[in-house]
Amino acid sequence: MIRNIAAGALLLMCMWTLSGCHTVHGVGQDIEGGGRAIERSSGK
């Protein structure tokens, strides 16, 4: 029972993560945007 719940939760997290960026290009854009935000917050 617990394994089923854990497997379901893992599957949902993977689906949620992948739905945010549909392609490898999208992942790159997300990472780049995160880098820009960190750079802005550091004052550079």
Residue range 1-44, pLDDT digits in tens: 788 888 889 988 888 777 765 666 777 788 888 888 888 888 75
Query: Any idea where the domains of the chain sit in the sequence?
Result: 2-41
Report yes or no on whether pTM surpasses 0.95.
no
> What is d(CA 41, CA 2) in angstroms, rounded to the nearest whole number?
41
Amino acid at 44: K
pLDDT at res. 13: 84
In the prediction, which pLDDT does 21 show? Answer: 57
Output the DSSP codes for 1-44.
Answer: -HHHHHHHHHHHHHHHHHHH-SSHHHHHHHHHHHHHHHHHHTT-
Rounded distance between C-alpha atoms, residue 33 and residue 25, angstroms: 12
